[in-house]
Amino acid sequence: MTHARAGQPPILTEENNSKREELLGLLKKAYFMELETVMSYIANSVNPDGVRAREIAESLDQDIQEELAHAQQFANRIKELYGVVPGSMEFSPEQKSLQPPERQTDVISIIRGVVEAEQGAIEHYSHIIEFCDGLDWVTQDMVIDIQREEEGHRRLFEGFLREFEAEGHL
């Protein structure tokens, strides 16, 4: 890392090296969460069968590009903070709820998995936002924007769940 310069953001100062390392860990986790979501959304947008499945699959298909863009944003921010973007050997899957269901007509499991994954992302991003307060406004601003999009995804899939519930499918 370069020497401190006037006007340098607090996260890049020598005295905040340990906080920067902690933030890099949080960003790497977010990066992997987004990539794992992309993998699961691809599977869950291709595998489902049935008339009701099409709308869910199409919605996931649209979300794939947004989630991939989020992963790219996290990767770029990791690099900007003098970190190294991790490769696949550092990845450990965690999103059990997003695994494709055994029955390809079970869209309710997919919907619940999406809601749970989006909620997990929102909670992690809230932690990053709080961690960055007064320390790294650029990362904080970026994660606020990403969290807003995740909240929109969660809200959409909660609506799908309410629709199934109203029709007596839950």
* 108-153 per-position pLDDT tens digit: 999 999 999 999 999 999 999 999 999 999 999 999 999 999 999 9
Element (H, E) at 65: helix 51-80
Give residue 124's identity as a one-letter amino acid code: H
Nearest Cα neighbor of 67 from 98, 108, 89, 96 is: 98
Positive/negative CA dihedral, 58, 100, 113, 30:
negative
Q: Which residues contact 85 (CB under 8 A, 6 or more apart)?
A: 28, 31, 75, 78, 79
Cα end-to-end span (Å), the chain: 54
pTM, two decimal places: 0.93
Residue type, 76: N
d(CA 34, CA 45): 16
Q: Of 98, 153, 144, 97, whose CA–CA distance to 125 is shortest?
A: 144
Does residue 24 register a pLDDT over 60? Answer: yes
Encoded tokens for 107: 């869209």
Query: Could you report the per-residue pLDDT of 31-66, keeping only the tens digit for each?
Result: 999 999 999 999 999 999 998 899 999 999 999 999
Residue 10 and residue 28: Cα distance in Å, rounded? Answer: 20
All domains in the chain, ordered by first residue: 15-164 (1.20.1260.10)
Q: How confident is the model at residue 5 (pLDDT cuts 50, 70, 90)?
A: low
